[in-house]
Amino acid sequence: MCRIGVYICECGPNIGRTLRLPALVQSTGNLTGVVRVRRVPVLCGREGLDFLGEEIVAQGLDRVVVAGCSPREHESTFRSVLERAGLNPYMLQVANIREQCEWVVRDRDQATGLARRLVAGAVARVRHHEPLLPSEIAVSTDVVVIGAGTAGVRAALTLAGKKRVVHLVERLPCVGGKVPLYEDVFPGMACAACVMDPMLDELLHHDGIRVHLMSSVEELLGFKGNFTVRLLQSPRYVDPEACLGCGACVEACPVRVPDEWNPGLAERRAVAVPYPGVLPSLAVVDPRHCLRWQGEDCRACEEACPFDAVRFEEEARVQEIQAGAVIVATGFDLSDPGRFPQYGYGRLADVITSFELERMLNSSGPTGGRVLRKDGTVPGHAGFVLCVGSRDPRAAPHCSEVCCRYTLKFLHRILAQGAVDRATVFHAGLHLPGGASQDLYRALEGNPSVHFVRMGAPNSAGILEQNGSLAVRFPDEEGRVRSHLVDMAILAPAMEGASGNRELARILHLETGGTGFFDQGITLLDRVEAGREGVFVAGCAAGPTDILGAATGGQAAAGRVLSELVPGETLRLEPVTAGVDETLCSGCAVCEGLCPYGAIERKDDPPRIMVNRVLCRGCGTCAAACPSGAVHCAHFSDGQIAAEVEAMLGREDQGERSKEKGSRIAG
Amino acid sequence: MKSRPARRRPKLGMTWLSSCGGCEESILDLGPDLAGILGQVDLVYWPIGMDGRMEDLCKVPDGGLDAVLINGSVRTEEHVETAGLLRQKARIVVAHGSCAHLGGVYGLANLFSREAVLERSYGEDGPRLPRLLDRVKALGDVVKVDVVIPGCPPTPDRVREALDSLIRGTLARGAVLADDRALCRTCPRGETRRPDTRIRRFRRVHEATLDPDLCFLEQGIVCLGPVTRGGCEARCVRGNLPCRGCFGPVGEVKDQGGGGVGFLAALLEGASEEELEQALDGLADPTGLLYRYSLPSSLFGGRNEGEGP
């Protein structure tokens, strides 16, 4: 026979104005198994908690029902009282008579009747409760960082500085992201390579950081402190230990294809060292274009390599990593301006993107730092068109943050080196936050070679060919169509989330916004929250930001990981998990595809499933879907739920004392 | 159970209530084995096969039959009386077939009132019938059942198993003569089921060219294998037809159709309410499909409020 104590909390003045508590106390006392019913002014206060603990011992209770606020508020509080008083914490049931009765029902009789039902349900349920024991596992403090751009690298170095093992996962064959491809960076016009190279060198030589290049995350299982990350590494076909990046293989390769690193500007070979100064300096074979994958027996690169570094037999590699946290730092892509035909991008030869100009200005880039039109001549007049796609609800509603500032950077650079005679900036309001950007702007004020022209709206310009020049046309603020002739037009396309973000979001169980950024968890006080515990987002993956913003984001995410995952701490695994009765399971696998946590594995011979209790979060989806009744969820058994429902509906449970007169649950 | 001389032939009775005769056929399906089995039992009462009257049955002492096989649903007051009388006379009552086990196909009549059923079947001038109960019931709703032979009709192996154990004196109370687990476990197509498959539109059997080797659910065809006890040797599946659930739910599952709704909903895929509606368009007569054999013993069709035998 159970010894159940029921404690009705008055929640200060919150419960009892509508509810008739004396009637509730009386009916509760008649319920089977109830040996004690008490009203308590504030059960969650110190006095109330002490009282509850003393009652459990003094009354020899084996189960407790608390009628009061929502279990979301204080279930764990009361569970710890049970634990301290020597009871298993799961021998508690909370009946929510505040949010579900007192606060929502006006009629006193109705509210009281409803509370009686809830308490009767809780009492009936708690009779079926069983003690559950939590288990503990050591927390993993290793971290997976996805993306080796500015944000990812800053995060990795910050974490490694506190002796965390970092797995830096990068889709490309090199580290550094986009910045190493630039010549200089705003606002100080610092040399990009000078800023990045020492940091990347530290990264590549750090004992605590394992860099996984050409790799992607294929699966993320588990939860904060206990993730299992499956990585897929594509083959480089070049042994990184033997290759020096000398380029002998590149010279020998007979294939020529457009160079992604220098779009519209250069070709590359099927084996390539991505760009001059790339880190690590290693060649990579591109199987999409290499003749060996087109059925030809070409060995030109292999024969040319002085170090025998080419490995055609290499295969993709899968590995699983245990980690406690994941930082997503996948950066951004520029949207394709070809999406707006009015700009003529792809059709008009000298309409290029800002990235193409970055590559032209790079002293080790395809033009050696010279700005050239497609016909090889120097443009006299360069036009910079801002907000191509940005701030337009039909395209990218956001401001891309950096375009105005990098345009100032371009102006300084091209005027300094005399690359053009004149430059015109077509903008819809300049976004130049911070003192350094204003300095950059002021230095151009009064310069007769530079003109700032205001368009009526973002993303409203069009470009036409006119007598061998380009006519940039747009409505001005009064709506009059204006036209300016330039020799080259540089578009500032909207930034959007990196191309793989949506797929990665699916794998990581995160959400992306309409423009592909992981900005869904971000709040006013937190820019690294990703919307899932143990997963953080840093840099442009969370939305457009500048280099400093990306670096800061990386450090912020690393800071969160350092404060949340401490070596030596343990994770308490909730005992409320699913389990399988193998004598009933037919292995039909209905549950397997439903599990949001990948916690269900199918076994053969005989066919059946097993629940991995470390991965299971006790959501109960499998138990609800199991057609054989073979999967059950601890603390939510059919028996417990049925007892609660039946008691709420006023049905008698076995051995119910409530058949006695006056104890029927009021309707 | 009292021990008794091993040679004594067990006394057996068999009868039908509201039945299509298929379960009687399941006896004849024993084929050549039938003669041997009949030679080892003392068949006392079998109205469809031999002269048998109620008054003769009444003369049998209580507990005088070792076992009685009852097939068919409980539809009329006469069925209740017959079942009660046989319960009194037999030490072991066997629910023979889906109707006795779960209420059976006739149980779908529970979707309509008794009056509507009579009106539809016979119009105004119906024949004189024993009074119909308000609802069709399973045998277990009116008498205690000791053993179940599931199936519509039961397979010969299951019937032979029952009669063999009766002859050997090992027929144990509480047994359901079938597997403890769902059909998928023994289904020849079980391994072709992929956990990630989702159904965008259910198809009916006549709408599809059926792959004879692939799990029906993979083909978008409703198969109740996951929610149905195995033990039928997957006969329908081997005949390239999906399971319709005649062996009833597994173990502790109380509501076979509810389980069916649960796991089919889990497999459905659709981005919007409309897409889900479309997916369900292929599910004609869900009640008739999912509760085909078990409506009277289901949670909502099995309560016999206010109806006494």
Residues 6+ apart with CB under 8 A from A615: A221, A222, A223, A597, A598, A599
Residue B304 near residue B141, CB atoms below 8 Å? yes
Residue A128 near residue A643, CB atoms below 8 Å? yes
Query: What is the predicted pLDDT for the residue at B251?
Result: 77
Q: Summarize pLDDT for B42-63 with one digit per residue, the tens.
A: 999 999 888 878 888 999 999 9
The answer to whether the A143-234+316-332+497-564 and A577-633 domains have the same CATH topology is no
Residue B185 near residue B143, CB atoms below 8 Å? no
Query: What is the predicted pLDDT for the residue at A663?
Result: 28
Q: With CA atoms as reference, report the closest residue to A544 among A178, A199, A183, A196.
A: A178
Residues 6+ apart with CB under 8 A from A576: A132, A618, A633, A634, A635, A636
- Is the bond into A306 cis (omega within 30 degrees of 0)? no
Q: What angle do CA A237, A240, A243 make, to 5 degrees?
A: 90
Is the pLDDT confidence value at A36 over 70?
yes
**Domain boundaries along the sequence of chain A:** 4-134+639-659, 143-234+316-332+497-564, 248-304, 336-493, 577-633
Interface with A, mutate which of B180, B197, B263 (most A CBs under 10 A) = B263
Give residue A196's pLDDT band: very low, low, confident or very high (50, 70, 90). very high
Check CB contact under 8 Å for B181 and A590. no
Angle between helices A354-361 and A403-416 (to 10 degrees): 30
Residue B37 near residue B30, CB atoms below 8 Å? yes
Query: What is the predicted pLDDT for the residue at A632?
Result: 92
Q: Which chain A residues are within 8 Å of B194, Cβ to Cβ?
A: 589, 593
Domain A143-234+316-332+497-564 in CATH 1.10.287.110? The answer is no
Closest residue of B to A594, CA-based?
B266
User: Which residues of A make CB contacts under 8 Å with B?
Assistant: 583-594, 602, 606-608, 624-630, 638
Check CB contact under 8 Å for B193 and A589. yes
When pLDDT is averaged across residues A548-563 and rounded to a whole number, the result is 97
Q: Which chain A residues are within 8 Å of B252, Cβ to Cβ?
A: 584, 629, 638
Check CB contact under 8 Å for A588 and B230. no
Check CB contact under 8 Å for B259 and A594. no
A-to-B residue pairs, Cβ atoms closer than 8 angstroms:
88
Q: Which chain B residues are within 8 Å of A590, Cβ to Cβ?
A: 226, 263, 266-267
Check CB contact under 8 Å for B263 and A587. no
In angstroms, what CA-CA distances link A562 with A163, A257, A533, B228, B281?
10, 45, 14, 52, 53
When pLDDT is averaged across residues A470-485 and rounded to a whole number, the result is 96
Q: Summarize pLDDT for B132-156 with one digit per residue, the tens.
A: 999 999 999 999 999 999 999 999 9
Please name the member of A586, A589, A629 whose beta carbon is closest to the beta carbon of B252: A629
Query: What is the predicted pLDDT for the residue at B194?
Result: 85
Rounded to a whole number of angstroms, the distance from the CA of A506 to the nearest CA of chain B is 14
- Other Cβ atoms less than 10 A from the Cβ of A89: the count is 21
Check CB contact under 8 Å for A627 and B250. yes
Q: From edge to edge, which strands make up the β-sheet containing A63-68? A: A34-40, A4-9, A63-68, A92-96
Rounded to a whole number of angstroms, the distance from the CA of A224 to the nearest CA of chain B is 25
**What is the C-alpha separation between A483 and B1, in angstroms, rounded?**
106
**What is the C-alpha separation between A228 and A455, in angstroms, rounded?**
51
Query: What is the predicted pLDDT for the residue at A255?
Result: 97
Q: What does CATH list as the number for A336-493?
A: 3.50.50.60
Domains and CATH numbers, chain B: 11-168 (3.40.50.700), 183-297 (no CATH)
Q: With CA atoms as reference, report the closest residue to A526 among A499, A500, A564.
A: A564
Check CB contact under 8 Å for A584 and B250. yes
CATH number of this structure's domain A4-134+639-659, picked from the four choices 3.40.50, 3.30.300, 3.10.620, 3.30.70: 3.40.50
Query: What is the predicted pLDDT for the residue at B256?
Result: 93
Please name the member of A583, A593, A627 whose beta carbon is closest to the beta carbon of B195: A593
Residue A304 near residue A252, CB atoms below 8 Å? yes
Is the pLDDT confidence value at A78 over 80?
yes
Residue A111 near residue A141, CB atoms below 8 Å? no
Mean pLDDT, rounded, of chain A:
93
ipTM above 0.85, yes or no: no
Check CB contact under 8 Å for A628 and B253. yes
Check CB contact under 8 Å for A590 and B230. no
Check CB contact under 8 Å for A586 and B191. no
Q: Summarize pLDDT for B259-303 with one digit per residue, the tens.
A: 999 899 888 888 889 988 888 888 888 999 999 999 999 987 744
Residue A342 near residue A383, CB atoms below 8 Å? no
Q: What does CATH list as the number for A577-633?
A: 3.30.70.20
- Give me B48's structure tokens: 């469809």
Range of weakest confidence among A64-73, A165-174, B244-253:
B244-253
Rounded to a whole number of angstroms, the distance from the CA of B39 to the nearest CA of chain A is 37
